[in-house]
Amino acid sequence: MKNLKFWAILAISVGLISCNSDNLSDASLTATAQDEAQVSAISDDVLNNADTYVNTVFATNFNAPAAEGMQKVGFNRNIDGVIITVDKTGTEFPKTFTLDFGTTGIKGKRDNVLKGKIIVVVSNRMDISGSSRTYTFVDFTVNDNAVKGSKVVTYNGENAAKKSWTVVVSDTIVKADDGKMIVSNSTRIRTRISDGGTPNVYFDDSYSIEGSASGINAKGVAYTMAITKPLIIDGVWPVFVEGTMVITTEKRSVVFDYGDGTRDLKATTTVDGVSKTISLRK
């Protein structure tokens, strides 16, 4: 009888351990998906803000009116409180842009608070296929999440009236809430699907994102990500509103679904057929 009780208790214990392990694994998968979603949203917001200011300066054809106090070799311009420095005027390339958001913070186009500097090296005019922009950072944060690493964006040209760019990213985000680090390396195709009805205003444009990534989540666990349905960024909304990605870690996968295009801060995670609604981090 004692042996029967022992084996019964052992069986129940093993069952509980198994369930708890599954639950922990599910939670880890969801946390990894949230980490990748946060990195992706921050990365796209950085591009959106930087491109807005760089394109605005491009639209001036790099003229340096004396009335604005611009120097012959380079010039400064203040747009929305962001101090933009360009190393040279005229048509000579490459050009280096420094976008200084200051130390107290400026709200960007998607309502996130940006601090520090983005350095953008532009190889040529961005309407020329094959031209590129390289982005690096100096003490730069988005909502106090530190952004490190680099991005290289190459213009692919126009197809069916839609422009696209290849975006190669090496991102490191140090989270504001706990100081933990997320690393993500990705290659994506970023296609503009709408100009928001304002062809000369860039921050309200909408994009479709395709591609994949690999990285290390905030707990130090390696993962991979594949976009299975294009991710949609809708103008100034701070997170993706549609699309699906699959994140795989520790030989298990979670399906991360941004929804049907509704502007909200929600997504759905599905692990082993069980779905949950979660809140997105900015």
Mean pLDDT on 265-280: 94
Whole-angstrom Cα distance, residue 60 to residue 267?
Answer: 40
The pLDDT, as a whole number, for residue 12 is: 38
251 versus 162: the higher-pLDDT residue is 162
- Let me know how long the chain is: 282
Mean per-residue pLDDT for 265-278?
Answer: 94
Closest CA to 38 of 194, 276, 235, 267: 267
Give pLDDT tens digits for 111-155: 999 999 999 999 998 889 999 999 999 999 999 999 999 999 999
**pLDDT the model gives residue 63:** 56
Q: How many beta carbons lie within 10 A of that of residue 271, not counting itself? A: 18
Model pLDDT, residue 107 = 92
CA angle 35, 167, 46 (to 5 degrees): 60
3 state SS of 165: strand
Flag whether pLDDT at 89 surpasses 80.
Answer: no
- Percent of the chain as helix, strand, coil, to the nearest 5: 20, 45, 30
**Does residue 27 have a pLDDT over 80?**
yes
For the four alpha carbons of 232, 238, 244 and 246, in that order, the dihedral sign comes to positive
Tell me the average pLDDT across 26-37.
88
Using DSSP, state whether 266 is helix, strand or coil.
strand
CA pair distance 171, 185, nearest whole angstrom: 6
* % of the chain at pLDDT higher than 90: 65
Q: With bands split at pLDDT 50, 70 and 90, how would you rate the model's confidence at 95?
A: very high
Mean pLDDT of the chain: 86
Question: How many CA atoms lie less than 13 Å away from 242 in the CB half-sphere?
Answer: 12
Q: Is the pLDDT of residue 62 over 90?
A: no
Question: For the residues of 97-141, what is the DSSP string, one character each?
Answer: EEEE-TTT-EE-TTS-EEEEEEEEEE-S-TTSTT-EEEEEEEEEE
Residues 36/169, Cβ–Cβ less than 8 Å: no
Cα radius of gyration rounded to whole Å, the chain: 22
- Number of other residues whose CB lies within 10 A of the CB of residue 139: 12
